[in-house]
Structure 1
Amino acid sequence: MRAAQRVGPRCGNGFRCRPGEGRLERAAAWGATPIMAPAAEAIIAATGGRGADSVIDAVGTDASLTDAINAVRPAGTVSVVGLHDLQPFPLPALPCLLRSITLRMTTAPVQRTWPELIPLLASGRLDVDGIFTTRMPLAEAVTGYAIAGVRSGEQVKVLLTP
């Protein structure tokens, strides 16, 4: 949602789908329309049967990727950011092909984006308020990764400080 805010008017309606009231409340505060999973039907209905132009799956589960594929319009784009489940995913290749869906996946190359992100953060043009729900010293990184790995509805990101 913060990325969509950065894009501004070029980004149409934003929908936030994720179990966990804390995350849905945050998304609503950031301008998203909160909907519960399975989300594809709600997104299709909200877009007049068209589907979303693009969908970002930042959840990383089979269910969220399936929802993303089902919610995107024909010739739309599904972007998967971050680490997906470590199990094989049964990609519905033929339906994706027939609907001309573009599927993009990345592990979020943070090091490449720092030169752009740091000035945005420093200037206040990129608001990260509410994203970091846990702060801890770098020496506790193992614990921080364990907290983030739980994927609870209340935890968003862990900020490690030097």
Structure 2
Amino acid sequence: MKAMTYRGPYKLRVDSKPDPVIEHPNDAIVRVELAAICGSDLHLYHGMMPDTRIGHTFGHEFVGTVVEIGGSVQSLAVGDRVLVPFNIYCGSCFFCARGLYSNCHNVNPNATAIGGIYGYSHSTGGYDGGQAEFVRVPFADVGPTVIPDDITDEDALLLTDAFSTGYFGAQIADIEEGDTAVVFGAGPVGLAAARSCWLMGAGRVIVVDHLDYRLRKAEDFAYAETVNFGQVGDIVRDLKFLTDGLGADVAIDAVGAEADGHVLQHVTSAKLKLQGGSPVALNWAIDSVRKGGTVSVMGAYGPMFSAVKFGDAMNKGLTLRMNQAPVKRQWSRLFDHIRAGYVKPSDLITHRFPLDEIAEAYHVFSAKLDDIIKPVIVPAS
């Protein structure tokens, strides 16, 4: 099969790799119909994730058709059209039994906190991802779900991570009716979180970013007020001014450590000399939320070398909530929201690339060219 393969930082190519095979009776093989590049894939592309090995295939957002199943698979059949959560999980351990699918205890021997993730280095289990023609899906009775006939492939694709993660971020922020929510980051997850805040009962939504085209998308897609932090002297002071001097009720960090080497260039308008894992957006969230407010963290973080303002969070009486989203838990509600016309996740898609052009797709996405928001990869038939 054709598959994207990692060759080192900023170096990708499409190679021929052996077709995946059934390795366990509960495996399935899925022919990928659509995949996506996630903002967190850029951490891999930039060489920021540990144990990203040469030849690894990225991609944790994909939908496709089941072409083969193991002998014990009962919930799927060959020919089923499925969406696959980015979380790989067993479904039966202590954490899975509590709905903490992203914290599964049985699928990642390399970590005690996070479970398995498709295409996200050996630090999350070493599973090849879906930026390929085919992918092996373990625990096929647990994760994959047949796409309802009235849900399009592109809408389903956005539910495998980005939109479901943003929805989860708004959900765990415990928004009360009429609350003001500030969302840091106008990438796909931030845009999904901002749109979802309205579904949770928010009375006002403000999105913070520094790229004008993403802020325009926040206005059009999420019906949000926007602030370009590159055009204000002090973003925290500006947000306090906008909220009667008190601060927002809720702040959602949908940025994380978007680092490029040791330079945090996608989080700030200037290239600040900060180490990978710098919590700039997280500290802005802590500072800009009101006393007694809630900070929800959806942005991806690795090791933190710079100080989080934890003392400030404690002294302000903040509630901090965070996790990798257990995306399958959100699907039934999101299917209903799509059917009702409240959301259309595929409206986030701006670019479509054939698999053979995936190196260009990563370059365009990383450099934020051509007003890109969400790129989709279409494997060759």
Residues 36-68 of structure 1, C-alpha deviations (whole Å, 9 max, x = no match): 225321110011111000011111132211111
Letter matched to residue 108 of structure 1? A
Is 1:79 the counterpart of 2:296 in the alignment? yes
Q: Contact between 1:81 and 1:105, CA under 8 Å: does it hold in 2? A: yes
Is 1:150 the counterpart of 2:342 in the alignment? no
Letter matched to residue 52 of structure 1? A
Is 1:115 the counterpart of 2:332 in the alignment? yes
- Give the drift of 1:136: 4.6
- 2:240 aligned counterpart, secondary structure: helix
Q: Output the TM-score relative to the length of structure 1.
A: 0.80
- Name the counterpart of 1:58: 254
- Given candidates 12, 34, 39, the residue that maps to 2:226 is 34
CA distance in 2, matches of 1:157, 1:104: 26
Q: Output the TM-score relative to the length of structure 2.
A: 0.37
CA distance in 2, matches of 1:63, 1:107: 19
- Give the drift of 1:35: 0.7
Is 1:126 the counterpart of 2:322 in the alignment? no
Q: Contact between 2:219 and 2:226, CA under 8 Å: does it hold in 1? A: yes
Q: Contact between 1:17 and 1:36, CA under 8 Å: does it hold in 2? A: yes
Structure whose CA Rg is larger: 2
Letter matched to residue 118 of structure 1? F
Residues matched between the structures, number: 158
**Alignment RMSD:** 2.8
User: Structure 1 residues 135 and 24 mapped into 2: Cα distance closer, same or farther (>3 Å)?
Assistant: same
User: Structure 1 residues 74 and 4 mapped into 2: Cα distance closer, same or farther (>3 Å)?
Assistant: same
User: Structure 1 residues 118 and 90 mapped into 2: Cα distance closer, same or farther (>3 Å)?
Assistant: same
Q: Contact between 1:148 and 1:157, CA under 8 Å: does it hold in 2? A: no
- 2:204 aligned counterpart, secondary structure: coil
Q: Contact between 1:79 and 1:103, CA under 8 Å: does it hold in 2? A: yes
CA distance in 1, matches of 2:353, 2:326: 23
- Given candidates 314, 328, 333, the residue that maps to 1:97 is 314
In structure 2, the gaps of 5 or more residues are 1-193, 258-278
Letter matched to residue 31 of structure 1? Y
- Name the counterpart of 2:207: 16
- Name the counterpart of 1:48: 244
- 1:150 aligned counterpart, secondary structure: helix
Greater alpha carbon shift after TM alignment, 34-43 vs 73-82: 34-43
- 2:320 aligned counterpart, secondary structure: strand
Letter matched to residue 245 of structure 2? G
State percent identity of aligned pairs: 27
- Name the counterpart of 1:3: 196
**Structure with the higher helix share, 1 or 2:** 1
